[in-house]
Structure 1
Amino acid sequence: MTKEQGNIGTKSVWAGEADVLVHGATQVPVVVSVAYNYDDMDEWYDVATGKKQGHIYGRNTNPTVQAFEEKVRILEGAEASTSFSTGMAAISNTLYTFLRPGDRVVSIKDTYGGTNKIFTEFLPNMDVDVALCDTGNHEKMEAEIEKGCKILYLETPTNPTVKITDIERMAKKGKEAGALVIIDNTFATPINQNPLELGADLVLHSATKFLGGHADALGGVICGSKELIEPIYHYREINGATMDPWAAYLLLRGMKTLKLRVKQQEINAVAIAEFLLKQDLVEDVYYPGLKTHVNHDIAKKQMRGFGGMLSFSLKGGMDAVRILLPNLVYANRAANLGAVETTYGPARTTSHIECTPEERAKVGIPEGLVRVSAGIEDTEDLIKDLEQAFANL
């Protein structure tokens, strides 16, 4: 048995680290050197040209970063992986690697706001055609794919409305059209979903969120075949969105407790969602673990768990939000998610701050929608906190 053969919780602790451990240390070192010395000129050349394993310059590769990439690669069951300075760098670098003027992208309307801006602003300026479909309307998406598709890009569950797309169905249709199928797996994490097993070509994460889990390090990562990862890595090494080794160390440390955190976050998310359903002042609750969720059956089919993310809208919109959120005690009111602390925030100042009210409304995000990232606190305390906060409404 090797350290890569255990269950996913065990892999989160052990996988990907052995090659960079030194001096009998049990933890991956933080290697901050920018350059690496070679006395043998031929060995230096072989490393620089990829004929031999090693490192030459920090913008290209780094031992600490390498360990992080390996751990995520193993958790996602991929052949290769590469990392980035942020989640948005992972998304943008991947899209820019493969897209050329005249190409066509098919995606969904309510991806994360930054991703949406790439689709609605940056790619059209590059003469790339983008078709955005209603999330969950698989027939419409299939019809758009048939018109031509270089990249099929999906985010499931979505941020912040936690909508679900059938990955297996869409990946099959995408491949029939010759499309590259990319899945943002940030919300689900490798604990609850492995898109490559469902037919996707590439899976990416904003590592800043659940992978790190402590809101103290930025990063992004993408996994897939070696054939696809190599050009993405080349684009990143030249354009410079390199992960910092200190961030890689913090992300590695966070990932050791990934399964434990995700399971407790899910317990809390379920409890919060069920509490919100009973509140007269709550208009809608969005959580794929609820039987009332429009795509609950698809989520059950492709996910091992429903995760720690949910959202809800209040009667009274932002006026009600302005009262409720400041009265919560066990909550960060912040533009982040996936951390050990429970975090609340309106979509208009978190996931979709880049968008206008009209743009948010167009993709089904009301101004009073609140995104909730459940933390790892005791469930009873979070519910009591919500009870006292709702009393103020």
Structure 2
Amino acid sequence: MSKEIESAHMGTKVVWAGEKEFRAFGATQVPVVMSVAYDYEDVDEWYRVAMGDRPGYIYNRMSNPTVQAFEEKIRILEGAEAAVGFSSGMAAISSTLYTFLRPGNRVVSVKDTYGGTNKIFTEFLSNIHVDVKLCTTGDHAEIEREIAKGCKILYLETPTNPTLKITDINRLAKAAKAVGAMVIVDNTFATPINQNPLKWGADIVVHSATKFLSGHADVLGGVVCGSTELMAHVYHYREINGATMDPWSAYLILRGMKTLKIRVQQQEKSAMEIAAYLQTQPLVEAVYYPGLVTHTGHLIAKEQMRGFGGILSFILKDEMDAIKILLPKLKYANRAGNLGAVETIYGPARTTSHVECTPEERKSLGISEGLLRISVGIEDTEDLIEDLRQAFEYLESKLPIRVKII
């Protein structure tokens, strides 16, 4: 079934990929296998499985049927040879970096990565004597110059969180290959529905499965996809360091992924219309959404993505004062530090994507204190725009005259 499903369209893959092989008792759904260990009457058979000579399960920190079904589904969606599940998105990202980096290595990345990833680059990797160079996101010439100086890993996130900047994966992957560097891409925002970084030259793709893959804001998870050889190293690191995905989480993410395509389609339809609406608002200083033709990365996004995703952000004039007035007036919104859910979620960068950073650090990354990120849900577009309209009307009535006339 796995080979057959790989030629199907994406909407069919999200429903069927990676499941039939792991069903039991004639069930139409993958079971949640909660057993920590697995019984073997034949000691020699047990040993062969433990040594990896035969497929099977020994202990849940190493492998589990439910988790393996999730890994197989995302493997197929990303067009990878193998995938490894983790307990969270940051576990997937940090474990991948620590799997391959050694003292004296160098990493080239961009300034606009997710705040937790940025902290790994600016705070933790120096502890193992890894040099990190963070370049201006979107300045491909600068990134290429730094790659040419030599690096072990080129780490990209596109679109970025929360400013939605776009990086040309294919162009930078070619530069990385020229110096023998490994290319890792965080594909959380785009999802495999809209972008497959391996197709554009990446070696490894990472996801926070907590977000769009799950889609229901009720489970943590992460996953890493790539070649069989590379994933063997990532798997071994996870096996020993222990940030394993649990089977119940794998089941919930599997269930959520079945509606991934239809969720993303509705979310990006609304995101496009909301972005256009925000551009008309006098209290909005800037709107960031790669689907807008005015977006600096629009043409690159159009080339390497099949859609522009369900996340956008915008900057309010009067910054946090305006945010504190606007957010409580929204009716169809969770004000929370998450994204990718069926409900629309609003949040400023200082309490969501870059809560780990100081105001000074956010400023150095080009993240305004007035930036609001919207993770668009699956509600009707008209209701979301009307909700914004009434909230802006209230905001205009409360802000000082000096802001209204800017």
Match of 1:335, as an amino acid? G
1:285 counterpart residue number: 287
2:393 counterpart residue number: 391
Q: Among 352, 372, 375, which residue is 1:373 paired with?
A: 375
1:152 counterpart residue number: 154
1:121 counterpart residue number: 123
Query: Does residue 354 in structure 1 map to residue 360 in structure 2?
Result: no
Once the two structures are TM-superposed, the CA of residue 139 in structure 1 deviates from its matched residue by: 0.3
Once the two structures are TM-superposed, the CA of residue 334 in structure 1 deviates from its matched residue by: 0.2
CA distance in 2 between partners of 1:121 and 1:320 (Å): 32
1:136 counterpart residue number: 138
CA distance in 1 between partners of 2:310 and 2:287 (Å): 14
1:213 counterpart residue number: 215
2:313 counterpart residue number: 311
2:206 counterpart residue number: 204
CA distance in 2 between partners of 1:66 and 1:125 (Å): 33
SS in 2 for 1:204: strand
Once the two structures are TM-superposed, the CA of residue 128 in structure 1 deviates from its matched residue by: 0.4
2:241 counterpart residue number: 239
CA distance in 1 between partners of 2:25 and 2:270 (Å): 41
Once the two structures are TM-superposed, the CA of residue 386 in structure 1 deviates from its matched residue by: 0.4
CA distance in 1 between partners of 2:315 and 2:246 (Å): 37
Q: Unaligned 5+ residue runs, structure 2?
A: 396-406
1:76 counterpart residue number: 78
Match of 2:384, as an amino acid? L
What TM-score do you get using the length of structure 2 for normalisation? 0.96
CA distance in 2 between partners of 1:267 and 1:19 (Å): 35
Q: Among 265, 276, 279, which residue is 2:278 paired with?
A: 276
Match of 1:296, as an amino acid? H
SS in 1 for 2:315: strand
SS in 1 for 2:5: coil
Q: Among 97, 100, 107, which residue is 1:98 paired with?
A: 100
CA distance in 2 between partners of 1:4 and 1:123 (Å): 37
1:54 counterpart residue number: 56
Once the two structures are TM-superposed, the CA of residue 4 in structure 1 deviates from its matched residue by: 3.2
Per-residue CA deviations over 1:196-234 (Å, capped at 9, x if unaligned) read 000000001000000000001100001100010001100
Match of 1:112, as an amino acid? Y
CA distance in 2 between partners of 1:105 and 1:34 (Å): 37
CA distance in 1 between partners of 2:5 and 2:288 (Å): 38
SS in 2 for 1:392: helix
Match of 2:81, as an amino acid? E
Once the two structures are TM-superposed, the CA of residue 110 in structure 1 deviates from its matched residue by: 1.0
Match of 1:304, as an amino acid? R
1:85 counterpart residue number: 87
1:66 counterpart residue number: 68
Per-residue CA deviations over 1:314-349 (Å, capped at 9, x if unaligned) read 000000000001100000000000000000000000
Per-residue CA deviations over 1:101-122 (Å, capped at 9, x if unaligned) read 1000000001000000000000
CA distance in 2 between partners of 1:367 and 1:214 (Å): 28
Query: Does residue 186 in structure 1 map to residue 188 in structure 2?
Result: yes
Q: Unaligned 5+ residue runs, structure 1?
A: none
What stretches of structure 1 move > 3 A for 4+ residues in a row? none
Quick one: percent identity of the two aligned structures?
Answer: 73
Q: Aligned ranges for residues 1-80 of structure 1 at < 5 Å? A: 2-80=4-82
Q: Among 247, 250, 265, which residue is 1:248 paired with?
A: 250
SS in 2 for 1:283: strand
2:400 counterpart residue number: none
CA distance in 1 between partners of 2:272 and 2:152 (Å): 38
Match of 2:343, as an amino acid? E
Match of 2:135, as an amino acid? C
Query: What count of residue pairs does the alignment treat as equivalent?
Result: 393
SS in 2 for 1:284: strand
